[in-house]
Amino acid sequence: MLKFPREIGLKRAVCTNRRAFASYVKTLGNKSSCYTSLYAFQEVDNNNRINYDSVVIDRAWWDFDSDETDNIEEVKEDVQILLSRLNGSDIRLVATGRGFHVHQLFKQPVYGRAWNNRLQRYERYMARGLKTLDGVGYAEKLTRIPDTYNPKRKRWCVTIDVEDFLANPHTYHIPKSPVRGIFKKECPFRIEKDLPKFDLTEWFDRKSHILEEVHIEEQVDLDITEGNLVPLTPCLGAINDTNPAHYVRMALVQHMAEFLRDFTPRRNLTKKKLNEIENTICSYIESLGWRDYRPSITRHHVRDIINSYDRSPTCRWFVDKNMCKGKCWRYDGTVKLI
């Protein structure tokens, strides 16, 4: 059952009750991609903004997507493997139009953003080796709302039966539109009390020996401006080229912005603070001596990236771009590294 308050829409409006949520879906459900926060929260501040430290984490979540290199059949195989690993707990499966969302409901929730790290370590561990994994759950995560339309893909986001999909994922017929009534029990936000639930706390007590923290062997402090230190990973060494690739430049900005925000969602920062971050990043890029450097163009792209991303690229992304130099202090478990 949906709990409140939670966020709705890409602009993250605060929704405090079921009636407002239903109105949002009814109005936009067949016209626009509809999103809700993966989790509910306990507190809203005086400015009517969600306090992410009050998150109620009641599930693990995985996102699998097809793209230019990973076709839908490979995605189905990876989802099948994950579902098999999660066997014995209450799992909900959502077909998003180009991939799948997997929800694993918990026996009891854990509270607070301090659980983010443990949650993601569990999710990465269970999805180890699955190359079409595109993301995992964390306190600030948004997810597609089932039974809503994706106009860009011209496809509906629908819930599907886990057991039927597991039996033969390649031939399973995914409904082209929501089937009212039949799959209602499969909704990831509908709780079935009689189904077995997973206990995250208990799992960590049993598995902590295989999830030791990565030892930080090397960390380089980059003195950008007085009072602002941002540690760079070895993977970002390509920024020292005279003409680095566009994706290298994007990764640098995402990484710096994440640290300069102190990992706070950009929506929680004032315009003044965002401008300070923008100026800091632009000043550092200017010092790199890229041969095609243009101040106005650089500022435009830096601002766009800051306003579009809350997280820096994963280790898997760096490996796919042949930028990874080996396991370092920033290792996140998205790919197996020696």
pLDDT at 120: 84
Residue 71 lies in a domain: yes
Q: At what angle do helices 246-260 and 295-308 cross, to 10 degrees?
A: 60
Residue 331 lies in a domain: no
Q: Are residues 270 and 193 in the same domain?
A: no
Residue 333 lies in a domain: no
Average of pLDDT values for 100-105? 96
The total number of structural domains that make up the chain: 2
Q: Are residues 58 and 191 in the same domain?
A: yes
Matching residue, tokens 């109105």: 23
Residue 102 lies in a domain: yes
Q: Are residues 242 and 296 in the same domain?
A: yes
**Least confident among 14-28, 150-164, 255-269:** 255-269
Residue pair 157/145 in contact by the 8 Å Cβ criterion: yes
Residue 189 lies in a domain: yes
Convert the pLDDT of each residue in 62-95 to its tens digit. Answer: 999 887 555 899 999 999 999 999 988 999 999 9
Residue 264 lies in a domain: yes
* Amino acid present at 322: N
pLDDT at 217: 34
Residue 239 lies in a domain: yes
**Least confident among 27-36, 206-215, 295-304:** 206-215
Q: Domain of 225?
A: 220-320
Q: Please name the helix (run of DSSP H) or strand (run of DSSP E) that holds residue 142, with its range, or none.
A: strand 142-144
Q: Are residues 84 and 144 in the same domain?
A: yes
205 band by pLDDT with thresholds 50, 70 and 90: confident
Q: Are residues 135 and 281 in the same domain?
A: no
Q: Residue 214: is its pLDDT beyond 80?
A: no
Q: Are residues 168 and 250 in the same domain?
A: no
Q: Residue 104: which CATH number? A: 3.90.920
